[in-house]
Amino acid sequence: MPFVKCAVDGCNTRLQPILEPVLEDRNTWIYPECDVCYRPVCDKHSSHMDGQLVCTDCRKKAIAETHSALIHLDITPLDER
């Protein structure tokens, strides 16, 4: 029986379903997943951003994009002041 695992590099934490609509059918089970890349992620590798669950990979990407957008606008990101 394959388990759903966290998709963040080198983690492989086995995920617990958050919803089991049909107990006998694992295909219906709902696991916590990133709202950006839709990969399953564990608690440790996900965080809430703007009301969405975002994995650490997408979070890093989003932060990098925000930073380059701010640099483009010649605004120094808050945490680098």
Chain positions contacting Zn ion, by CB under 5 A: 6, 8, 11, 13, 34, 36-37, 42, 45, 55, 58
Q: Where is 71: in which H helix or E strand?
A: helix 56-72
- Shortest separation between residue 77's beta carbon and Zn ion, angstroms: 21
Exposure pattern of 35-55 as b/e (b: 16+ CB <10 Å)?
A: ebeebbbbeebbeeeeeebbb
Closer residue to Zn ion (CB): 37 or 69: 37
Closer residue to Zn ion (CB): 12 or 76: 12
Closer residue to Zn ion (CB): 14 or 72: 14
The answer to whether the beta carbons of residues 9 and 15 sit under 8 Å apart is no
